[in-house]
C-alpha cells in the first residue's frame, strides 16, 4: 500500500505500588501489538478495564460501543482492511451471547479477532449474589466453540501467557478467524505477588504458510497450458496485497479470464481479463481453476428460486482444479463450507505461495512452446472484447435511467463515482448490489475488502474499515442499506465519538427488499396477492429520517434525496466535511433493486 495504516502510539506502562493479575493481560496486548480494543462496558472485566486505562495508559486504545455485536463487527472490518487483528472485549455470558452473530460472521469471513471475555468468579464463595450467577456459565466458550478457531479459559494467571500466545498464532494462521479467551473476574482482580514469564520475544508468533505439493502443482500447470477455454475462479485469493498482484500475473501469463466473487477484492475491476459479472463465461469452459474458493456453485449454476432447483452451466467434460483451504475449514456444526467440489486436482495450500509457483510453472511451459503465444493472444483479445462490451452496457444503463425517481441503483453508483473518482477512495462493505463493481475502477487492492455478510453487518464492519484507514488521507465511502443501519443506529455515535471520518451514502429503498423479493416469488408461484408481499417487509409509515438521526449523533447529514440529479452536489458537500474530519451521511431514496 502506498500509505501506511495508522498505528496507535504505545505509551509506557505506569505500574502501581501493587501489581494486579490483569496487568499481565495488558503486557500481552502490548507485546503482540494489539492497538485497539472495542467494548461495551461490563463489570466482569472491571479489573482488566482498570489495567488498560491506568497501567497501560489506554493501550490498547478503547473504542466505546453501544452493543457487543457492533464491537465485534468493528474489529472484523479493521482486520480485513489493515491485515492486523483487534481486541473485542465482551462482558461475561450476556455480552458473549449478544455478540454471537457477529462472531459467526467473522468466522465464515476469515476475520482474525482476539475476543476477550470474562466470567465468574468460578469460586462460588466470591460471587456477587444474583448477578454473578446469572451472568456466568460452565465452560463459557462452548457458546461460540463451533464458530471460533479456538477458545480457552486459563485457571491461573501463570497459564495466561502461553494460552494467549497459542490463541494469537491460531487466529493469524490461514485460514484466519476469531478466537475467544475467557478470564475469570476474580483472577483479573487478584494481587500479583510474583513475576509471570511472558513468551520469548524471539519466538515466532505465527507459523509459516502452507506450501503446495510440487507434483500436484505440476499437473495443474499442465492442464492450464493445454486448456482452450480456462477460467480462473477466486473468492479469497486477494485477502492480502500479494495475492492481488500474484493473481494479475497468473491471469496475464495465461491470458485466462478471471471471475471473482466479492468476499475480497481479488482482481482489478477494469482489467480486460475481468469477467466477474459475465456468468456465461463458464458455459464453454474446459478448465476451471479455483483459487481459495468455497462457493464454487454460485457463479457456475442457475437457480430456480421458487423450486430451489440448481443446475450447472459448466460443460460435463470440464476439468476442475481446486487450490485452497477447503478441507481445513470443515465444521461439524455450521454448513458454511458449501457443497463438495469433486475436483480433478485438489491442492491444500496457501494461494499466496501456490499462485506464483503455478505462474512460474506455466511460464516455463510457454517458453518451451512459443507456438502457444498466438493462442493466448486470441484468447486475451476475445476476453477483452467481452469485458469492454459488458462495461459499456452497464455505463449506458446508468445514464439511461437517470430521470427516474426513486433513484435506480446504477444511477446512484454512477453519481457517487463521478464525485469520488479522482480521490484516493476506499469502499467499505457493500457494493450496491454489484453496481459499484460494474461502474467504478477498483485498481488497487485496498479499494475494497469484500461485501458485508447480510443485514446487520455492514455499518459495524464499515466503521472498522474506516478506522483502519484513518490518518491515511483516503476517502472512506459506505454505500449503506437502510435495513442494516436500522439494526444499530447508535453505531453512528461511535464514529463521531472516536473521530472516525467516513462518507455514508444511504441505499434507502425503505424495505427489507431481499426478503420482499422472495415473498413476491412465493405469491406468483402460489397465486396469492402480490400486493400483500410487502407486509412485514417495508420500512415505512413512518419513514426513518436518517439525516436527522445522524445530525443528532454528531454527523453532517443531508437528505432524503430521490432524484439522481441532486445526488452529486450533496455527496460533494458531504465529502468536504469528511475531509475536514467529520463523518457525513447523504440519505438517498432508491429503487428496490
Residue 380 and residue 405 in one domain: no
Residue 329 and residue 441 in one domain: no
pLDDT of 463 above 70: yes
Q: What is the pLDDT of residue 279?
A: 82
Q: What is the pLDDT of residue 330?
A: 82
Please say whether the beta carbons of 97 and 72 come within 8 A: no
SS3 category, 507: strand
| Chain mean pLDDT for the chain | 95
Distance CA 421, CA 401 (A): 21
Q: What is the pLDDT of residue 334?
A: 86
Residue 1 lies in a domain: no
- Which of the four pLDDT bands, split at 50, 70 and 90, describes residue 517? confident
Among candidate residues 297, 275, 286, the one with its CA nearest the CA of residue 344 = 286
CA 308 from chain centre, in angstroms, equals 27
SS3 category, 310: strand
Q: What is the pLDDT of residue 512?
A: 86
pLDDT of 1 above 50: no
Residues 210-227 have pLDDT tens digits of 999 999 999 999 999 999
Domain extent, residue 430, equals: 401-589
Our CA dihedral for 44, 47, 100, 35, rounded to 10 degrees, sits at 170
Residues 397-447 have pLDDT tens digits of 999 989 999 999 999 999 999 999 999 999 999 999 999 999 999 999 999
Residue 428 and residue 370 in one domain: no
Residues 529-547 have pLDDT tens digits of 999 988 998 999 999 999 9
Residue 182 and residue 302 in one domain: no
Q: Which three cell numbers stand for residue 261?
A: 466473487
Residue 14 lies in a domain: no
Q: What is the pLDDT of residue 2?
A: 43
Which residues are within 8 A (CB) of 505 and not within 5 positions of it... i.e. 6 or more apart? 412, 416, 477, 478, 479, 480, 567, 571, 574, 585, 586, 588
Residue 442 and residue 379 in one domain: no
Q: What is the mean pLDDT of residues 69-91?
A: 97
Residue 227 lies in a domain: yes
Residues 250-262 have pLDDT tens digits of 999 999 999 999 8
Q: What is the mean pLDDT of residues 13-41?
A: 96
pLDDT top residue among 336 and 207: 207
Residues 319-341 have pLDDT tens digits of 999 999 988 878 878 888 888 89
Tell me which of 97-111, 407-421, 459-473, 510-524 is least confident.
510-524
What count of other Cβ atoms lies within 10 Å of the Cβ of residue 182?
24
Distance CA 70, CA 491 (A): 7
Among candidate residues 31, 163, 144, 148, the one with its CA nearest the CA of residue 96 = 144
Residue 239 and residue 125 in one domain: no
Question: What's the CATH number where 77 sits?
Answer: 3.40.50.970
pLDDT top residue among 499 and 511: 499
SS3 category, 12: coil
DSSP 413-428: HHHHHHHHTTS-EEE-
Residue 580 and residue 452 in one domain: yes
Question: What's the CATH number where 250 sits?
Answer: 3.40.50.1220
Distance CA 213, CA 345 (A): 11
Q: What percent of the chain has pLDDT over 90?
A: 87
Q: Which three cell numbers stand for residue 239?
A: 485477502
Q: What is the mean pLDDT of residues 383-401?
A: 96
How many residues in total does the chain contain?
593
* Residue 520 CA: distances (Å) to CA of 481, 494, 541: 20, 37, 21
pTM exceeds 0.85? yes
- Which of the four pLDDT bands, split at 50, 70 and 90, describes residue 6? low
Number of domains the chain is built from: 3
Residues 116-129 have pLDDT tens digits of 999 989 898 998 89
pLDDT of 316 above 60: yes
Residue 359 and residue 423 in one domain: no
Residue 147 and residue 239 in one domain: no
User: What is the β-pairing status of strands 86-90 and 36-39?
Assistant: parallel
Largest alpha-carbon pair distance within the chain? 81
Please say whether the beta carbons of 372 and 225 come within 8 A: yes
Q: What is the mean pLDDT of residues 147-167?
A: 97
Residue 172 and residue 260 in one domain: no
Amino acid at each position: 500500500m502506498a500509505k501506511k495504516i495508522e498505528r496507535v502510539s504505545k505509551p509506557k506502562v505506569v505500574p502501581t505500588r501493587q501489581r494486579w493479575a490483569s496487568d499481565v493481560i495488558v503486557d500481552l496486548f502490548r507485546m503482540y501489538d494489539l492497538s485497539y480494543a472495542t467494548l461495551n462496558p461490563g463489570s466482569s472485566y472491571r479489573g482488566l478495564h482498570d489495567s488498560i486505562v491506568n497501567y497501560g495508559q489506554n493501550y490498547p486504545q478503547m473504542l466505546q460501543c453501544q452493543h457487543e455485536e457492533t464491537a465485534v463487527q468493528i474489529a472484523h472490518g479493521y482486520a480485513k482492511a489493515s491485515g492486523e487483528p483487534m481486541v473485542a472485549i465482551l462482558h461475561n455470558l450476556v455480552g458473549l451471547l449478544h455478540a454471537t452473530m457477529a462472531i459467526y460472521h467473522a468466522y465464515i469471513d476469515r476475520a482474525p479477532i482476539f475476543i476477550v471475555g470474562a466470567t465468574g468468579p468460578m469460586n462460588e464463595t466470591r460471587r456477587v449474589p444474583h448477578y454473578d450467577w446469572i451472568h456466568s456459565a460452565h465452560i463459557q466458550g462452548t457458546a461460540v466453540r463451533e464458530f471460533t478457531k479456538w477458545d480457552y479459559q486459563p485457571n491461573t494467571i501463570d497459564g495466561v501467557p502461553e494460552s494467549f500466545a497459542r490463541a494469537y498464532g491460531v487466529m493469524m494462521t490461514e485460514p484466519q478467524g476469531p478466537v475467544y479467551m475467557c478470564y475469570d473476574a476474580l483472577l483479573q482482580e487478584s494481587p500479583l505477588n510474583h513475576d509471570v514469564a511472558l513468551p520469548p520475544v524471539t519466538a515466532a508468533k505465527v507459523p509459516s504458510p502452507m506450501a503446495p505439493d510440487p507434483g500436484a502443482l505440476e499437473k495443474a500447470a499442465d492442464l492450464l497450458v493445454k486448456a482452450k477455454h480456462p477460467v480462473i475462479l477466486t473468492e479469497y485469493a486477494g485477502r492480502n496485497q500479494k495475492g492481488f498482484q500474484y493473481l494479475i500475473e497468473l491471469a496475464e501469463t495465461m491470458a485466462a479470464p478471471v471471475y471473482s466473487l466479492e468476499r475480497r477484492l481479488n482482481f482489478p475491476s477494469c482489467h480486460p481479463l475481468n469477467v466477474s459479472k459475465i456468468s456465461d463465461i463458464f458455459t464453454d469452459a474446459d478448465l476451471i481453476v479455483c483459487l481459495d474458493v468455497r462457493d464454487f456453485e454460485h457463479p457456475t449454476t442457475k437457480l430456480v428460486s421458487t423450486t430451489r432447483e440448481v443446475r450447472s452451466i459448466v460443460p460435463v467434460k470440464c476439468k476442475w482444479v481446486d487450490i485452497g483451504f477447503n478441507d481445513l475449514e470443515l465444521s461439524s456444526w455450521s454448513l458454511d463450507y458449501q457443497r463438495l467440489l469433486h475436483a480433478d486436482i485438489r491442492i491444500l495450500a496457501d494461494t499466496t505461495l501456490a499462485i506464483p509457483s503455478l505462474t512460474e510453472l506455466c511460464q516455463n511451459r510457454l517458453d518451451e512452446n512459443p507456438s502457444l503465444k498466438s493462442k493466448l493472444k486470441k484468447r486475451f483479445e476475445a476476453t477483452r472484447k467481452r469485458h469492454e462490451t459488458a462495461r459499456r452496457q452497464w455505463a449506458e444503463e446508468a445514464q439511461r435511467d437517470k430521470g427516474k425517481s426513486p433513484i435506480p441503483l446504477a444511477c446512484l453508483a454512477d453519481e457517487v463515482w463521478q464525485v469520488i473518482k479522482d480521490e484516493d477512495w476506499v469502499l467499505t462493505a457493500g457494493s450496491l448490489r454489484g453496481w459499484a463493481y460494474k461502474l467504478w475502477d477498483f485498481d488497487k487492492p485496498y479499494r475494497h475488502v469484500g461485501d458485508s455478510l447480510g443485514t446487520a453487518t455492514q455499518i459495524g464492519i464499515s466503521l472498522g474499515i474506516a478506522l483502519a484507514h484513518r490518518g491515511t488521507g483516503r476517502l472512506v465511502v459506505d454505500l449503506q442499506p437502510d435495513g442494516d443501519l436500522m439494526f444499530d443506529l447508535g453505531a453512528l455515535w461511535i464514529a463521531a465519538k472516536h473521530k472516525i471520518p467516513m462518507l455514508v451514502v444511504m441505499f434507502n429503498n425503505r424495505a427489507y427488499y431481499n426478503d420482499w423479493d422472495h415473498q413476491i416469488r412465493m405469491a406468483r408461484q402460489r397465486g396469492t396477492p402480490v400486493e400483500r408481499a410487502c407486509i412485514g417487509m417495508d420500512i415505512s409509515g413512518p419513514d426513518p429520517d436518517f439525516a436527522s438521526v445522524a445530525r443528532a449523533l454528531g454527523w453532517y447529514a443531508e437528505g432524503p434525496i430521490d432524484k439522481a440529479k441532486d445526488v452529486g452536489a450533496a455527496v460533494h458537500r458531504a465529502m468536504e466535511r469528511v475531509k475536514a474530519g467529520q463523518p457525513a451521511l447523504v440519505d438517498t431514496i432508491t429503487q428496490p433493486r
